[in-house]
Amino acid sequence: MSKYYLNYLDELESEAIYILREVWAQFENPVILFSGGKDSILVTHLAKKAFYPAKIPFPLMHVDTGHNFPETIQFRDDIIKDLGVQLIVGSVQESIDDGRVAEEKGKNATRNALQITTLLDAIESNKIDCAIGGGRRDEEKARAKERFFSHRDDFGQWDPKNQRPELWNIFNGKHFEGEHFRAFPISNWTEMDVWNYIKRENIAIPSLYFAHEREVVWRQDTWIPNSEFLVLEDHEEVVVKKIRFRTLGDITITGGDESDADTLEKIATEVAGMRNTERGNRSDDKRSESAMEDRKRQGYF
């Protein structure tokens, strides 16, 4: 029997491939922003499909805070080798050393906000006119307003109230010298869609997403991994728990959940039963109700 419609995952895939090809056709010098998290891995996988049988025709760019999970860096290097594409690294440590940004102080200090400067510097110095991200509209309320092709002015800033209308499947990536775009091929995917698709396609993801034993500390209602960057408070205690991470950010701010899900099958089942949003464990988003919007206006991912 032949049916002439796509199921929802195939339609999302086709839409993302279409966006990636539009980016390639409309921009001179695009990159994929690669964090090593599942969303950017997914975008990379879709890019592989979009340009098959050719290689992905543009580089991957990693904004390296220096506060990484070692597993993420290993994964990044492996995927680069496998794809045979160029890797561009923007280093937050260098931005600090160059005096472009100052390290936050205090117990809850993170390098999250510092990434903005490093990202924009890397975009400028590499003459990138479109940075492809794995942002999804279901992640956060400010992201719900993002366009597929999202304009950034010559300061790298987003003006959410003055966005270009996007109709049908016609995308307008025209821009002046010094401006750039962000493109979001998986805008319409939810966390559940991502997992269902990763499972279906059997896409390799870092081991951190699977339940594993790890040294952790209970802080701000979540299990923060022990690392060389963690400064313990007096009352805090390092314990070993079986956890997995639902999203991956800096090792200093990414909380894990206790879990036994050690296969893609089990993860998908677990995610389906989740009663909290995935960014709920990211302290960068907990700072205020408009934390994401404020950062995004300045040029964040």
Residues that bind other proteins (CB under 8 A): 2-8, 10-15, 17-18, 21-22, 24-25, 48-55, 137-138, 141-142, 144-145, 160-161, 163-170, 172, 174-176, 187-188, 190, 192-193, 196, 274-277, 280, 289-290, 293
Q: To the nearest whole angstrom, how small is the minimum distance from the Cβ of residue 72 to other proteins?
A: 25
| Separation of alpha carbons 173 and 22, rounded Å | 9
Closest residue by Cα to residue 132 from 70, 214, 50: 50
Q: To the nearest whole angstrom, how small is the minimum distance from the Cβ of residue 121 to other proteins?
A: 24
Which amino acid is residue 89, in one-letter code? V
Q: To the nearest whole angstrom, how small is the minimum distance from the Cβ of residue 137 to other proteins?
A: 5
Residue 213, helix vs strand vs coil = strand
| Separation of alpha carbons 172 and 77, rounded Å | 33
Burial of 12 from C-beta contacts in 10 A (0-12 / 13-18 / 19+)? buried
Straight-line distance from the first to the last Cα atom of the chain, in angstroms, rounded to the nearest whole number: 44
The two beta strands, 60-64 and 30-33, are parallel
Q: To the nearest whole angstrom, how small is the minimum distance from the Cβ of residue 160 to other proteins?
A: 6
Q: Give the number of C-alpha atoms closer than 13 A to the C-alpha of residue 57, restricted to the C-beta side.
A: 15
8, 16, 140, 212, 260 from 11: Cα distances, Å: 5, 9, 23, 34, 32
Residues ≥6 apart with Cβ < 8 Å to 115: 63, 65, 92, 300, 301
The two beta strands, 256-258 and 60-64, are unpaired
The two beta strands, 130-132 and 180-183, are parallel
Q: To the nearest whole angstrom, how small is the minimum distance from the Cβ of residue 89 to other proteins?
A: 26
Q: To the nearest whole angstrom, how small is the minimum distance from the Cβ of residue 24 to other proteins?
A: 6
- Cβ nearer to other proteins, comparing 90 with 185: 185
Q: To the nearest whole angstrom, how small is the minimum distance from the Cβ of residue 143 to other proteins?
A: 9
Which amino acid is residue 131, in one-letter code? A
- Cβ nearer to other proteins, comparing 157 with 277: 277
Q: To the nearest whole angstrom, how small is the minimum distance from the Cβ of residue 53 to other proteins?
A: 5
